[in-house]
Structure formats: C-alpha cells, structure tokens
A and B are shown apart, each in its own frame.
Chain A
Amino acid sequence: MKIISCIKQVYDLDIVLENDWVVDETTNKINIDYANLIMNPYDETALELMLRITDSSKDIKTEVITIGNKKSEAILRKALAIGVDDATRIEIDHELINNPFNIAKLLHHKIKDDKEVKLVLCGRQSDIFNHGQTGQILAEKLGWSCFTNVFNITYKDSYFNVSRTTSSGIEHIKTNNPLVVTVTQSPNMFLRMATLMNTMKAKQKPINFISKELSEISEDTNEKFYNLEKLTVEKSKKNCIYLNENKNKSINLQLSDLINNSLNKGVK
C-alpha cells in the first residue's frame, strides 16, 4: 500500500509587514517576494499525519508530490529527510499554478495509474489565492471518497479511521475505500525535525521529475477560469485610543469600566 501527500511551497505571509500590502497598479500584483519560502502549514500537518501512520505500520510506502519550479525541491528534500520514501516534482507554467483545476488534473494524471495508492492527503488550502479546492476536485476525478477538515487519521487492520470537524461536531469515519482527505489544523501535530545526518542523506536522494503540458493530459480547458480583474486592500484602519495609567483611575478600573459601559449600552 502507498500513501501520497501533496505539498506546496508558499510565501510565509506572516512576516509580510502591514505596510507592504500595497497593490502595484501596473502589474496588478503585490510584491511580497522578500518573504521566506516555506512549506504550506496545512501541508505540514498533512505530512506529519502521513508519517505517524507509517510509524506504526512499516510496510506502507510514502511519497510526496509538489507542483512548481526547481526552487520548490527544497520542501521535497525536507520531506525526504524526515523519512518519506519518494519525492516527485511536476513542472508547471507559473501562470497556470493558481487554478485548482489545473493542479488537480496534474495530480490525477500522476496518481490514477498507481493501483497501490489508497490515501492522498492535501492541505485544506494554500497561500495566495486560497481556493481550497484542489483535494476535492482530485477526489472527484479519481472517483474516491473525499473528507474535508480532517484533523486526525490512523490506520489499523486495513481500515482508515478518519476524524474530521463539521459545523456541529466531530465525525469519525471508518473506511477501507480509497480516499482523499484535506487536512485542517490539528492540535500538537507539528512537523518533526530532521537530524543533520538525514538532511545530508536526503541531498543525495533522487527526485522524480515530470514535465507534462496540461493539454497533453486532458482536452477540456479551464484556461479562462479565475479571471482576476483587480486586487484591492480594504481594511479600514482605526484610530486606536491608548489607555494609560493615570492618577485618578488605575488601568484595570478603566478597562472594566469600558467593558461594563459598552455591555450595558449594547452598542458603542
């Protein structure tokens, strides 16, 4: 049996400064190129879930796939260093990467002929365009079950036990059908660290490379999809009133007064 985890390299948006969220009118883009390239946090959780499955059952093969340029091999090396067996990179024209239909098509093409694969893990969404649909479209193309917002998955006696959040509670599913899951954040599920030795070894490991034009894979074109007209930044900043310690009133009194007043009034 084999498990595949789909990972993506993204910009670390957390370190982008507030004032840098400015739309460049001529290119209709936002320049955040200085941000670090990291593995998408949801994909990290998905990868850790995959590795925890193989911790208990050693005979399961694992693979990571990424779609992107040569730079994105960095996250594949990272995955190899923490114990993933195989890594594959699929090349894509950079303009086409932000359409989940394209991504799902390429993944489907890679996965469909591999009869060994029983489980595919994806992060629930990734950086820039936040479509959050790749996993679901992939599941539809493969004809497999799809579970979204998964926070835990284990494998026992040829059954997968999937736990996912829904709007009214937690659902536990026991299944032995092939499935695609999209992973959301999960408590205490941080990606393990690689040892220096394994990091060195991972540098020598081969990375499979696939370069296919989308038109070779399928005939229906989704090129016109996601026609981004413009970007806007519309967060109304407020003038923050700072509370300070003063003689008449201590700061915690000021705070509790503020809270009580607005609760009584209902609205400010």
Chain B
Amino acid sequence: MKIALITDYNILNTNHEINSVLSKISNLNPKTNNLKIDLLYISKQTIIKPITLEQVNEIHIYNQIEEPNNISNLIKVALHYNNIYTPDLFISCLKENQDAFIPQLASKLSIESFLNIESIKFDNETQKFNVIKPIYSGNVLGHYIVSDRAVLSFTKEKTSSKLIKVSNVPIIKYIDYTDATTLKDDIVTFEKVVPSGIKDAKFVIVCGYGVGSANNIELLKDYAKSVNAVICGTKKVIDLGWLPMNTLIGTTGQIISPDICLTIGVSGAAPLLNGIIKSKLIIAINKDKDARIFNYADYGIVGDYKDIIEKEHF
C-alpha cells in the first residue's frame, strides 16, 4: 500500500500543519502494516538539503512550477505522480484551495474523496482504510470504509508543537515538471487581512447572538483589551455583520484550543461546539439555564453578562 502526501508548505521548517498530518498518519502504524509514505513537495524552490522526516519514505520534489498554488497545476502534478506510482491514498496538506483541489482530483481519477476528516485507521485484515468524519453538522461521527482509493484532508487544528523525531532520512527525487500552465486572463487581487490572532490566543471570548447588538460587542472589546483576550463570534454574529468574517469560530470557521474560552450569550450549536471543545477551560455565561452550552462547559454562570462582567465596562 502506498500513501502520497501532497504539500506546498516549506518542509524545511518544522511546520505545524505537516506535523499534525504526520502525527495523524502515525495511527495507521505504517511500519507494521507495511505502508509506504511518499511526500510530494510542490514549489518554485529548486534544491533542498536532505532532511529527516518521521515515517516518510520518499520525497518527490516537483519544482520549477511558476504558480504552485494554482489548482489546475496541482491536479496535473498529482495526476503525473499517479500515473507512475498509483498510490492508494492521497492526503492533501496545502496552504490554500484544499477544498477545491480534493474533489476535483477525485473526480478526475474517479475515486472517493473526503474533506476535513477527523482521523483514519487501517484494517490489516481487510486491507482497507477506515475514515472517521463529523457529519450532521458535527453532531455525530460517521465511520466510513474506503472502498478502493481515496483523496482526503484532515481538519486543520492547532497541535502541540512537538518536534519531529529524528528517525528516518527519506530518499529525495527531483522531477522536472514543465507542463505547468500559467492560467487564464482572470485578474486576481489579494487583500491581506491582518490575522485576528485567534489561533494563538491564550484567552478567547466567544460572542453569541445573546450579546444583543453590535454596540455591545464594541463594549466587550474594551473588556477583552483589559484582560488581554481576543474577541470572536458565532455564525449568527458574523451573519449579522457584528464581527468580521475572520473571527468566525466553528466547523466552518476556525477550530481553537486556548487555555480559557469564555462564551457570552452562546447557546451551543454543534458546529460551534466543535470549534471550542478542545479548549482547556470553558466558562459559559448565558441567561437560559437550559442552554446546551452548559453541558460542555467547565464553569457556568446563569445570568445577564452585563451584571457579571466587571461593571466599569458598561
């Protein structure tokens, strides 16, 4: 069995995203199950030094690609690799466009595809992969059996920054791939949004619809500043335009794991809970004592947040 990991992250850096994918692959017990792992590295860069990467057997470097994050180039490269090695599993670990790349590659190859799976296992008896993926908007986990081959990606989440163990120096192969296209007459402008700092924050305040108004959020921002916290919001709050899009927490937004997560006026819908459930401490404030959030919080306060949060801010 062969697994191909596709990435455009700089593999010379000990990178969180690749680390997290590699640690999730280690569930497969590559050694005992005799799985070979290849890493496809797609970039403009030409030469890299030999590096050590746990579990990876070979690194294939596709270089001289002008637009490495153009989807059609990525698909071409994957197809080129597929024609030679035919891996049983493609795992994508890309900076951008991952959700567009996976289904399109799967459709080209007529194989299954899974986006944002939680974990993967390998059944040695049946020689099949088992995929676990959140369904019903994250209320339930679905256990799938991969029928043949598949393309998939893991949910992006912050992992503990443990270093990659020095265990294995993979073979590096260079592939001169020149069939790349620079695409189309589309005009693309990019606007960099200042990172909201949510991912790295130690203390996060999640505002729900119960906060009441955009004005109240401004007041809470003052409070957040005073306690050194970062403000973010639920889907409802973002929909109403009370907070910018990059502060959305939940399955479709960001998944966070801060030391403290304080939720204010949040009822606790499943997509949001999935976003905060890995927090070390969850404190919930809600008027409704039956709110679902209290089932998943370490500490709960039933009442109006305006009475609870230090008075000088209101």
- Distance in angstroms from A85 CB to nearest chain B CB is 27
The answer, yes or no, to whether B165 is at the interface (CB within 8 Å) is no
- Whether the Cβ atoms of B135 and A128 lie closer than 8 Å is yes
The answer, yes or no, to whether B79 is at the interface (CB within 8 Å) is no
Contact flag A140-B103 (CB < 8 Å), given A18-B295, A185-B252, A268-B280 = yes
A187, B145: Cα distance in complex, Å = 38
Q: What does the 1/0 interface line of B98-111 toward A look like (CB < 8 Å)?
A: 01101110111010
Give the chain B neighbours of A139 by CB distance below 8 A.
100, 104
Q: What does the 1/0 interface line of A126-154 toward B look like (CB < 8 Å)?
A: 01111111001101110001111101000
* Interface residue total, chain B, C-beta cutoff 8 A: 88
* Interface residue total, chain A, C-beta cutoff 8 A: 82
The answer, yes or no, to whether A30 is at the interface (CB within 8 Å) is yes
A167, B99: Cα distance in complex, Å = 11
The answer, yes or no, to whether A196 is at the interface (CB within 8 Å) is no
Give the chain A neighbours of B299 by CB distance below 8 A.
240-243, 258
The answer, yes or no, to whether B139 is at the interface (CB within 8 Å) is yes
- Whether the Cβ atoms of B99 and A132 lie closer than 8 Å is yes
Q: Look across to chain A and name the residue whose beta carbon is closest to the beta carbon of B262.
A: A259
- Whether the Cβ atoms of B295 and A173 lie closer than 8 Å is no
- Distance in angstroms from B184 CB to nearest chain A CB is 7
| CB interface residues, B 208-236, toward A, < 8 Å | 227, 235
The answer, yes or no, to whether B25 is at the interface (CB within 8 Å) is no
- Whether the Cβ atoms of A166 and B96 lie closer than 8 Å is yes
The answer, yes or no, to whether A232 is at the interface (CB within 8 Å) is yes
Q: Look across to chain B and name the residue whose beta carbon is closest to the beta carbon of A151.
A: B245
- Whether the Cβ atoms of B300 and A267 lie closer than 8 Å is no
Q: What does the 1/0 interface line of B162-197 toward A look like (CB < 8 Å)?
A: 000000000000000000000011111111110100
- Distance in angstroms from B288 CB to nearest chain A CB is 13
Interface residues of A (CB under 8 A from B): 13-14, 16, 18, 21, 23, 30, 32, 100-101, 104, 124-125, 127-133, 136-137, 139-141, 145-149, 151, 165-177, 184-190, 220, 222, 224-235, 237-238, 240-243, 251-252, 255-256, 258-259, 262-263, 266-268
Interface residues of B (CB under 8 A from A): 71, 95-97, 99-100, 102-104, 106-108, 110, 112-116, 130, 133-148, 156, 184-193, 195, 202-203, 227, 235, 238-241, 245-246, 248, 251-252, 259-260, 262, 269-270, 273, 277, 280-284, 292, 294-303, 307-311
